[in-house]
Amino acid sequence: MPLNVLGTELQACSYDPLTGFYRDGCCNTDVHDHGTHVICARVTADFLAFSLTRGNDLSTPRPEYRFHGLQPGDRWCLCALRWLEAFDAGVAPPVHLEATHIKALSVVTLEQLKACALG
């Protein structure tokens, strides 16, 4: 059973849009997930714009990858390093702690995540 950053069972992040490295709705990870897509966030317009400046367009649909493009308010499993970059830039999107994989703590602190936690 995968755990979240609170030490309890990992909850689903989003089924619509279908997220996760394995497109299973959860921020599950393993050795094949080189981007460490483990932080469940509710994306914002500011974060999407920030991500685009970093070369990762999360808004444009890419049907060949079963990706419909994100809109502000969508939940998505983000790469831990990209979320940390956004945090340092002051544009980190809010985080759903119960759906954020414990592996995120190898990149960010629980305090950083809690500072951006969804109510």
Kindly report, residue by residue over 39-77, the tens digit of the pLDDT.
999 999 999 999 999 999 999 999 887 788 999 999 999
Architecture of the domain whose range is 1-112: 2-Layer Sandwich (3.30)
Kindly report, residue by residue over 90-100, the tens digit of the pLDDT.
999 999 999 99
Query: What single-letter amino acid sits at 45?
Result: A
Cα distances (Å, whole numbers) of residue 43 to 28, 64, 96: 18, 22, 11
pTM score: 0.94
Closest CA to 62 of 12, 14, 17, 13: 17
